[in-house]
Amino acid sequence: MERLEAEKLETDAATKVWSVHDFCKRYRLCDDEERRLMRLFGLFATSRELLNNAQRNPKWR
């Protein structure tokens, strides 16, 4: 395990920890996608994990 300093965490936007619910609300993801991300990560995850795993269906289909 490695201890992370608060100053180091705030400088890297990819390691910002989000509430999965807040992330889905901000990026306007559907409830099914929110449930899928919650099952995958739990209540919280880093922005990099969420952005790489979020799926969004195109609106024109």
Task: Report pLDDT digits (tens) over 42-59.
Answer: 999 999 999 999 998 877
What lies within 8 Å, CB to CB, of 50 at 6+ separation is 18, 20, 23, 37, 41
Higher pLDDT, 44 or 1: 44
Considering 12-21, 34-43, 51-60, the range whose residues carry the highest mean pLDDT is 34-43
d(CA 19, CA 5): 20
pLDDT on residue 15? 79
Name the pLDDT band for 36 (thresholds 50, 70, 90). very high
Q: Is 7 exposed, middle or buried (0-12, 13-18, 19+ CB in 10 A)?
A: exposed
Q: Per this entry, what is the length of the chain?
A: 61
Of residues 14, 32, 28, the one with CA closest to residue 59: 28
pLDDT on residue 6? 65
